[in-house]
Amino acid sequence: MTVSPSAPFGRVLTAMASAFKDDGAVDLDGTARIAQHLVEHGHDGVVVSGTTGESPTTTVAEDGEILAAVKDAVGDRATVVAGVGTNSTAHSLELAQQAEKIGADGLLLVTPYYSKPGQAGVLHHFRTVAEATDVPVMLYDVPGRTATTISLETYAAAKEIDTVVAVKDAVNDFARGVRLREMGYAVYSGDDASNLGWLAHGAAGFVSVVGHVAGDQTRAMLEAFDRGDHAEALAIYTRLLPAIEAVMGAPNYGATTAKAGLQLLGVLDNRNVRGPLVPLDDDEVAALRAGLEASGLL
């Protein structure tokens, strides 16, 4: 596939779930099925081993196996971005170098979570990891999970690193996003409920969760907007709202609802997660099903 400087990782990406067997082991075949499902339904990129991939629970070796399996599954049909962000710079460095060896097309580097470093620490982390490989980097700003927001000054300094090219934004400050674009960042929406709004503010595309179950519709919304049919884009977004609300309405909606949705679609035969997460219970699955049905996805 081809990418452009304005959308260096593609336009429609999903932070994909990692499949697990009943005994808790990584299910590489199931993970490959998820990737294949995504590229067959509107995606030109996937992100592995992010929050939705339950990366805090996977080992370095498992992350490498997941990345290799997804690369094999999608071939040249989509970019594959490897999540390498942790709250340990040494750990992130190891993951980044492994991802480069396996052939990742990009790295997703989240702000270190829980530790709450200052901006100097955030920049040191980004610089250490980004300068260790030649792989393009997408920073990830999600203060709801990390307790730290990347400052504009840190963004400006990080942009001086040649490999830092994009940001996945879950801050939801559109004006701030425009300023990031002016700095030279490709901005990707990191919140499905804000996808349409981000397009209006010049975003390159999305790193979705709802894309697990609505890839074609998400692609159709983007293409309608691109061709200037904003009424159609809004109509698609409106139809997707019940699904967006259902997917985002459960605890740690990324992993738990993504897998339950994939089970409802028949892509996975289970919804196994690793602790401390627990799978959706039957009532939660019923609520998810109702939302997907209301959006015409089931």
- Report, as residue numbers or ranges, the catalytic residues: 140, 168
- Token pair in block for residue 126: 């980004």
Contact 132, 91 (CB under 8 A): no
Greatest C-alpha distance within the chain: 49
Class of residue 149 by CB neighbours under 10 A (exposed 0-12, middle 13-18, buried 19+): middle
The residue whose two tokens read 């490709």 is 186
DSSP 8-state symbol, 57: G
Contact 98, 153 (CB under 8 A): no
DSSP output for 56-104: GGS-HHHHHHHHHHHHHHHTTSSEEEEE---S-HHHHHHHHHHHHHHT-
Contact 69, 31 (CB under 8 A): yes
Amino acid of residue 54: E
Q: Is 105 helix (H, G, I), strand (E, B) or coil?
A: coil
Contact 165, 185 (CB under 8 A): yes
Spatial separation of the C-alpha atoms in residues 125 and 79, rounded to whole Å: 24
- Closest-CA residue to 45 (of 126, 143, 166, 131): 166
